[in-house]
Every structure is written in structure tokens, then in C-alpha cells.
Amino acid sequence: MTTTHNAKLTSRVLWVDRFLTLIRITFIVVISVGLLAFIAQQINPQNPFAQWANPDATGLTAPQFKGLLVTGLAQGAMYGLIALGYSMVYGVLGFINFAHGEVFMVGAMSGMITSNKLADAGLWEDAFLLCLLFIVVTSILLSTATAVIMERVAYRPLRGAPRLIPLITSIGVSFFLQNLSVVLLGPGAKSYPTLPSWLSQKRSLVGFQIEGTKLLVLLTAAVSMAGLWFLVERTRTGKAMRAVAEDKEIAALMGIDVNRTIVKTFAVGGAMAGVAGILWGILFRSVIHTTGFLPGIKAFSAAVVGGIGNLGGAMAGGLSLGAAEATAPLVLLEPLGVDGVSQLRDAVAFAVLIFVLLVRPSGLFGERLSEDERA
Amino acid sequence: MTATANDASTFEAPGLDWRRQIRFSAIGALSCAFIALAGMPVGLDRRSIVYPVLSLGYLSLLWVPFVLASLAGSQVVLEGMGERERDTRDLAAGALVGLGSALGLVGLMILVKNFNLRDPLVNWSPQLLELLSFNRSTTLGMLLWVVLGTTLGLLGGAMHVVPAMVRAKVLTVVLSVLLVSVLQTFLTDLLEGFRLEVFTDFIYYKRGGLEILGALLVAVLAIAIPLLVGGRIKGLRARVQKMPPDERSRTNLVLLGVGAALLLILPFFLGKITNELLANVGLFVLLALGLNIVVGLAGILDLGYVAFFAVGGYTTAVLTSPNSPGFSPELPWPVALIAVVVLTGLVGLFIGAPVIRMRGDYLAIVTLGFGEIIRLLFLSDWLSGWFGGAQGITNIPGVDVGIGTVKGTDPRSVFLLVLIFCGIAIYVSWRLEHSRLGRAWMAIREDEDVAEAMGVNTTSTKLMAFVVGAVLASFSGAIFSAKVGSIFPSSFIMLVSIIILVVVIVGGMGNIAGVIVGAVVLIGVLGGPKQPGLLQELGQFKLLIYGALLVWMMLKRPEGLVPNVRRSRELHQEEFLQDAWLKGEIDEDDEEDPS
């Protein structure tokens, strides 16, 4: 669009463009004023600029801020893992798999079932790491199966249909899976068994007080990310995936089985979502049928923030989105005099998505898409 | 479809594909087991369809072998390909599919009897086993299922063997019995209004469902009525079609007027429950007509449509309610409505402007984000000084129209008000569709770049779609808040947007009649996000059915139940081109790239 429609050549600038510029400026002004007020508060809570909008503001202490940041990063790592699935599928098929959040929910549910069974058998406390491995593996299997079946049943028949048709279908799939969980497993939140105390206690690490669970989450995410990077960049399968993402027809001419590669892409995305599901269980210890919805949307935002199609970008986007939604309400909104800021966490996540799309639609780290998917 | 499409090059009718039959058996077995584990048979057993032989619970299983057997037997006949001769092998294939489906249930019964998986699977219960074995011994139950499944499969397969006339008659009878049974509340209420309750008392069982005699009567009528008057209707239709254009349009106008008048007097013959139900349907018709302009005509997938409904509702509440926490002018509803329309239009512009330049799929997610942001703002403590936070705004007065007040306790008046606004919305959509703006929308839907090259100002045209859609939703919001009398953020969850989308898609994107049909069928029978429909027993299965329906429609019939001609051509462009190529209408040289 931008290449065909050059604003300088046409003499008149549309009012929409002016309005968009206004929104961008407002966004940036709000962010900078909030940040400045926050900094002013940190220097001296009594100075007039700090008290200008919110007289009761007290600022944050260093441990509080670090705590928020770690919480945000741990959640962000989880978003990043889910975002990988969105990013890969968008890269290969060029559509948003809205139901990917539900694959994550399936992973979290399966972890809930297996971990409770293990706890009943008395194994959970004694051999925690083995149990964890077992629930991760079953969760990966189940969510991969969900993703693959989803592709086969709902998306493969629609290849080549107008762009919005698979998107609408994926909304239906998401809705269906959510409610399938309600009717099969019952409504209401279900909880994971208590974690062993050696895991949940705080440890200090390079000046940060980190709970063991969050450390575990960050480590698991790092390991999965490394595995994925190896798969995509160093194996034949990964090469095939990249080729299919670049151009399906030419990839097929080069002897790549496009269908099988697409299935593999869904499977890998599903596996990552399965891991993320277990991480959710460890972090929050509670899962309900709508668990997949908000993290799913946020993970998609993370993929966009990092540049869709770009795997490192998806993880980085997830981490920055997680950190932003954990800290921004207190750092930006509190000094501006907004009440009840923690209720606006989700709104902050959506605002980040809108802001990035307005200011830099190709994401912070650049998108990697073939020409026709960019249209 | 893909399986048969591959054989198209041979130009011969392929034989019976047994692998397809086996695949369908497996699908049937899995579906039966899933439906049983989802708790449908147990949960829906209370509602009879034909008392005492068939309940909705059993029906939720029994349709599987019949429908799957008939689907397995169907084939796509491509241009230039002869249809296969049907013979007894088709019957056998149908029976096989039916048997397969029943075996799924039998397997499940064996598992339920011997293992206990009640912990994760809530419906793994003795009640399920009891119900599946027809309250007799398990072995007898299994035998019965095998027999039932095979018979129904056989019947499903037979649908392709018998002449088309018989098939049509059988389907009419089955569907009309189901329909009359489902419409029980409505029909009872309507006939009571005309003092004809003798008839409904005769055919219906008091606690839901038809009596056996009633079902027989309905079946006889379903066959007899078309025989008696079918010819005459056909004659009338032919005569209308033969009229000169201006006379025909006059006749259509008269028919439309009579229909509208009938609708307007209908509420006076209906009771409270039915009026309430129809008022809800009407609210969704309004919403769906608005979304139809955005999604159906302009091709913009707006997933945050509920935002405009919320803004309409909240603005009305703030302007009319004495309990509004921040600003409470207590305006009368009609005056408030003007403010609502202006404000929602502005919100439409405000949300539309940033998203309008985005790719279609990004736009969908961002509108969804806007919808959630607006709900979260209404819910937040930050703005609770104006909107009351989670407590919402209560004590919203009804609409004072001189001769009475329209409010929730009097559903008849609400229904009348909704009808009037639906009339306005239908007129607006119809005029817009055939205006310059409507044609510009459709051009954008088909190809945005080409539309721009043709001189359509895509930005302002798409924004107009957003604004018109927003205003129609705000009507619905304004009536909603006057009807309910109080307003909470929880009424505006994303679910509402999705359900409106399902209504538009199932009805037929871009077609006014289709959208109305979609709303009446889905909201009326299944019910809205919080409003019960005619089958209120469905409860928790409602949303599951909505999801499945959306996927199935997108896969099999993306143009909807009542398709818009142009839209369905866009959606099936590839098949049209293929057919045209096979017929030799396109030279191979100038064959267009179908994608």
C-alpha cells in the first residue's frame, strides 16, 4: 500500500493520516510523561512534577520493581513459547491460527489431569523432576495431536480460500475446543497439586530474588527455544519449513512434500504450546476452559511485536510484552493518576499491540514473510 | 471433495469407495463416543421430542449413523462426469457406516462398565451407562444399539437409492415433526392467543414434546398440505413472475406490507415468554444487520463489534438513569438516542481510523483488542465514577412513548419497539446495498487494490462501513439497556461478538434476508449468549454447537444458508472456473489464474 500511495505526490493529506499522527503523538506523549513522572517520583516523591497528576504516588522500591520485572519476564517467556506457534503458522500459511491459544489450554488441562493422577499415586512430591518430565511429555503429545488434527480437519480443506475464511474457521475451532473442555471436563477452575517447597522458595541470583518456579519457567523456555532454533536452522525439516514459508509452489517443485511440512509446522507449534501450558500450570496452579483465550491473544501480540515470521523475534516480543504488561500499569499509569491500575494489565497488553502496529507494523525485529503473504 | 476431484481426469463415474465408508464409520464411532462423553444424552434426556419414545438426549446420538451414512454415500458430480448407478451395495455401505457408529457406543459402554475415569471426565457415570443400555441390561443395550445403528445407517444409505420424490417426502416428514416439536412453546402460545388451544393440547405432551398421535398427525399433514395447496402456490408464483416488472414490484410491495402488518399485530396474540424471546431475537437481528454491513458488504472482519453495542448501552444508561454515578441528566430516551447515535458514530470513527490501513487479519485481532479494552474500561475502578465499574448502572427508566412505557416487564412493547428499529435497519441496509457506497463496499471486498485503482476512496469508504455498523449496533444497545433496566460490563464480553459473527455467517454474509433467517434460527432456537432460546435445555451445549456450526459452515457452505449471489460466486470462484473450463467455455490460452 505504501509503495503505491505516496503521500507526497498527492497534494492533499487525508484527515485520517492526520488523525493517525495525532494518535501516535498522544501515545508517545503519554508514555514519556508517565515515565518522566515516574522518574521524578523515584528521585524525590515530594517534588511538584511527581505530585502533579497523582498526589498520593509513592513510587516503587528497587526490590518491588525487580519482583515485577521477574514476574513479567516469566509470563513473557510463556507468551513467547505460544507466540512461536502463531509466528510459524503465519509464516507458512499466512493466516492467524486463532485456535492456537486453545492448543495451549489443552496442554495445561492435560498437565492438570496427569499431575493430579501422579499426586494421587504419591509420586508428585517424591520424584518431582521425573513427574515433571512425564507431564511435559504427555502434554506435548496431546497438544501436538490437537494441532495436527485441527490442521487436517479444519484448515487443509481451506487452502487457497479467500484470506478471511480460514481465520473465521479458526475462531470456530477455538470456540469449539473451549466448550469441548467445558462439557468433557466440567466447568469451573481446576487446580494443580501443590509444588514441593524446595521449588517455590525464593533464591537470589545476580541481585534478583527469584522464586524457583519462575526460574524453572525461564529455564524451560530457554531450553525449548534452543531446541526449536536447532530444528529450524540446522535440520532438513527446518530447511523444508523455511522453503515452504518462502514459496509453497517452488518448494513443491524442489521435491518438498508441502502438506507434510505444514503438518510438521503445526506439530512443532503445538509442542511449544504444550510446554507453555505446563509452565502456566506451574506459575498459576489453576486452569479453566478460558485459560487459552487471553494468553493466546497476547502471544499473538507478542509475535506481531517481534515481527511475525521471525522466531527469535517472537520470543523477544513475548519477553518484552510480559515485562511491559507487568510494569507499565505501575510505572506509566500510576504516576498519571489512574486508579486501580492492576485491573488494566490486559488493556495494556492490547494497547502495546495497537501501538506497535501504528508505529512499526513490521514489528521491532522485522517480519520474515514471503511477498504474497505481505499483501 | 478432494478425493473425487482427483479422479476428474478419467471422466468416468468412480465405483463405490469402500475406504471412504470405513473412514466415515470411524468418524461416526468417534462422534458418538464424544457426544456421549460430553453428557448430551444424559443432560438432554429431560426434553422429549416424541413422548415417550424419543427424547432430545437419544436424538443427539441417533442422528449420527443416519446423517453420516447418507454423507458417506453422497458424491460430488463434476461437470462432464456421469453419476454412478446406485444399487444394493450402497445400502450395505450405509449399514456399515451405521454399524461403525454404533460400535463406537458399544466400545464406550464396555469401557464405562469396567473402568472408572470419572475424575477427569465428568460424564463418565453410571447414569450414562444406564441411559445407553435403555435402563435394561448392558448386553441387551449393546445389541439394541447395534441393531438401531445398522438400521439407521441402512436408511441413510437408502436415501441415495430411492427416487428423489420419496427422499424429499421422508425428509419433509422428519424435519416437520422435529420442527413442530421444537416450536412447542411458540405454537402453544400463538394458538392460545387465537383461543385454539384444543389443537396444541391434542398434539403436545404437557411437559415438552409431541404425543405419538400428535407426531402422526403432523406427519400426515406434512405430506397432505403440499399435495393440496402446493400446485396452487406454484401457479401463483409463476403468475407473479410473468407479470411486467413494474406490476411485479408493486405486488412484491403489497406482499411486504401485508407481512409487516402481520408481524406488527403478532405480538398482541403472544404471551410474555414468546414476546421476550422474539424481542431478544430482534435485538440480535439489529446487531447482525450492522455487522453484516461491516463483514458482509465491506469484507472487514470486525471481532470487537460488541464494543459499539456496549457504547450504545452505556451511553443510554448514563443519559437516562437517575442512578448514573457521574453525570446524570436524566434525558428522555428518544433524546438520549440522538446523543447515542452521534457518540457511537464517533467511537466508530475513532476505532476505525487506526485499524483501517492494517492487513485484514491484523485488523480482526486489533478490533478484538479494542472490544476488550472498552469492556475493561467500563469495568475499571478508574472510570467507575462515570460507569459504576462492576456494579454497573441500575434503575434505567423505560421508553416513554405517550400511550405507555416500554420496559423489560412488558416484553410485548419491547418487541414492538425492536420491530420498528429492525424495520429502519432493514430499510437502511437495503438502500445502502444498492447505493454508490454499497457498490464501493463490494468492490473493496472483492479486491481492494483494484477498487482503489477504479477511483474508490478506500479509506473513507471503509470508515463509513465502520460508522454505519456502529450506529446500528448502538440502536440495539440503547433498546437493550431500556429493556433490562440495568447494565453491567459482563453483558459485553467477546462471546457476544463471536455469536453475532456466527449468526451473520450461518445466515449468509451480505444478504439481509439471510442475516434475519440466521438470527431467528440461531437465537430463537439455540438462544443468545445469556438469553435462552426455544430449546432452553441445551444450556451448556449451546456454545459447543455454535462453534461446531461455525467450522462446518466455513468448510461446507461459506456463503451461508441464504446466500448472496455475488458473494457465493466470489467464494467458489475456483469451482466456477473449473466447470467453465470442462464445458469448454474458457480457452486454455486465456485461462485466468484461479487464485
Tens digits of residue pLDDT in B419-459? 999 999 999 999 999 999 999 999 998 888 899 899 888 88
Contacts of B381 in chain A (CB under 8 A): 339-340, 343
CA distance A250 to chain B (A): 16
Question: Are residues B340 and B234 part of one domain?
Answer: no
In a domain, B428, yes or no: yes
CB contacts of A339 in chain B (<8 Å) are: 380-382, 384
Over residues A270-302, the pLDDT tens digits come to: 999 999 999 999 999 899 998 998 899 999 989
Q: Chain A contact for B277, CB < 8 A?
A: no
Indicate if B453 and B333 belong to the same structural domain: yes
Among residues B491, B526, B518, the alpha carbon closest in space to that of B502 is found at B518
Q: How far is B544 from chain A (nearest CA, A)?
A: 5
CB contacts, 8 Å: A357 with chain B: 354, 358, 362, 366
Contacts of B357 in chain A (CB under 8 A): 1, 16, 20
Together in a domain, B227 and B313: no
* Residue in B321, B368, B313, B386 with CA at minimum distance from that of residue B343: B313
Select from B146, B179, B135 the least CA-distant residue to B45.
B135
Cβ–Cβ gap A185/B121 under 8 Å: yes
Query: How far A1 CA sits from the closest chain B CA (Å)?
Result: 8
- DSSP states along B342-408: HHHHHHHHHHHHHHTTS-HHHHHHHHHHHHHHHHHHHHSSTTHHHH-GGG-B-----EE-SS-EE-T
Q: Look over chain B and give the mean of its residue pLDDT values, rounded to a whole number.
A: 86
Q: At which of B103, B126, B161 does a domain end?
A: B161
As a whole number of angstroms, the distance between CA B50 and CA B67 comes to 20
Residue B418: its pLDDT value, please? 93
| Residue B3 scores a pLDDT above 60 | no
Whether the CB of B459 is below 8 Å from some CB of chain A: the reply is yes
B65 and B172 in a common domain: no
Q: Which residue of A has its CA nearest to B459?
A: A16
Q: Is it the case that residue B383 has pLDDT exceeding 90?
A: no
Residue in chain A lying closest to B554 (CA): A169
- Is residue B427 within 8 angstroms of chain A, CB to CB? no
B288 and B201, same structural domain? Answer: no
Please name the residue of chain A whose CA is at the shortest distance from the CA of residue B559. Answer: A165
Chain B: closest CA distance from residue A32 (Å)? 21
Residue B275: inside a domain: yes
pLDDT at B584: 66
Same domain, B129 and B174: no
Residue B78: predicted pLDDT = 64
Residue B595 has pLDDT above 70, yes or no: no
> Rounded CA gap, A187 and A191, in Å?
13
Q: Buried (b) or exposed (e) across A50-60, using 16+ Cβ within 10 A? A: bbeebeebebb
Q: Which of B123, B380, B459 is closest, CB to CB, to A340?
A: B380
Q: Closest Cα to residue A284, out of A371, A374, A217, A363?
A: A217
Closest by Cβ to A343, choosing from B356, B381, B502? B381
Q: Are residues B584 and B578 in contact, defined by beta-carbon separation less than 8 angstroms? A: no
Q: Using CB atoms, which residue from A158, A178, A354 is nearest to B369?
A: A354
What pLDDT score does B409 carry?
A: 82
**Do the domain assignments include residue B40?**
yes
A123: distance to nearest CA of chain B, Å? 18
Contact B579, B530 (CB under 8 A): no
B328 and B397 in a single domain? The answer is: yes
**Residue B504 belongs to some domain of the structure:** no
In chain B, residues 5-44 whose CB comes closer than 8 Å to chain A: 37-40
Q: What are phi and psi of A204, to 5 degrees?
A: -105, 140
Residues 180-209 of B with CB under 8 A from A: none
Which residue of A1, A168, A346 to mutate against B (max B Cβ within 10 Å)? A168
Q: Which residue of A has its CA nearest to B359?
A: A375
What is the domain range of residue B173?
Answer: 164-242
Please check the confidence at residue B210 and state whether its pLDDT lies above 50: yes
Compute the average pLDDT of residues B299-326. 92
Domain end among B207, B242, B277: B242
pLDDT in the model for residue A52 = 66
Cβ of A183 within 8 Å of Cβ of B544? The answer is yes
Residue B377 lies in a domain: yes
Same structural domain, B207 and B295: no
Of the candidates B38, B303, B551, the beta carbon closest to that of A173 is on B551
Confidence at residue B316, expressed as pLDDT on a 0 to 100 scale: 93
B466 touching chain A per CB within 8 A: no
* pLDDT < 70 positions in chain A: 1-13, 50-59, 370-375
> Which residues in chain A are closer than 8 Å to B502, comparing Cβ atoms?
172
Give the lowest-confidence range in A263-267, B311-315, B450-454, B526-530: B526-530
| Residue A204 DSSP SS3 | strand
With respect to residue B595, please indicate whether it lies within any of the assigned structural domains: no
Please check whether residues B145 and B169 belong to one and the same domain.
no
Q: Which amino acid is at A251?
A: A
Beta carbon pairs, A and B, within 8 Å: 171
B459 CB neighbours in chain A (<8 A) are 14, 16
Question: Mutating which of A158, A164, A371 best tests the B interface, going by the most B Cβ atoms within 10 A?
Answer: A164
Chain A CB within 8 Å of residue B360 CB? yes
**Which of A5, A20, A347 has the CB atom closest to B373's CB atom?**
A347
Q: What is the mean pLDDT of chain A?
A: 86
> Which residues of chain A does B362 touch, with a Cβ-Cβ cutoff of 8 Å?
304, 357, 361
Q: CA–CA separation, B21 vs B13, rounded Å?
A: 17
B336 & B422 share domain? yes
Which residues 397-426 in chain B show a CB within 8 A of chain A?
Answer: none
Query: Phi and psi dihedrals of A48, rounded to 5?
Result: -60, -35
Q: Count how many domains chain B has.
A: 3
Res. B274: pLDDT tops 50: yes
* B48-51 and A286-287 beta bridge pairing: unpaired
pLDDT tens for B252-267 read: 889 889 998 998 888 8
Q: Which of A112, A183, A344 is the mutation pick for testing B, counting most B CBs within 10 A?
A: A183
Q: Is residue B536 part of a domain?
A: no
Q: How far apart, in whole angstroms, are the C-alpha atoms of residue B54 and residue B56?
A: 7
Inside any domain, residue B537: no
Three-state DSSP state, A176: helix
Question: Do B181 and B327 share a domain, yes or no?
Answer: no
* B2 and A CB contact within 8 Å: yes
B73-102 pLDDT per residue, tens: 887 666 666 667 777 888 888 999 999 999
A190: helix, coil or strand? strand
Dihedral angle sign, alpha carbons of residues B248, B254, B257, B262:
negative
The residue of chain A nearest to residue B453, with distances taken between CA atoms, is A4
Which of A346, A357, A362 is the best residue to mutate to test the B interface, defined by the most B CB atoms within 10 Å of its own CB?
A357
Angle, CA B211 vertex, CA B209 and CA B216 arms, to 5°? 115
Both B30 and B94 in one domain: the answer is yes
Q: Which of B340-354, B517-531, B560-574 has the lowest mean pLDDT?
A: B560-574
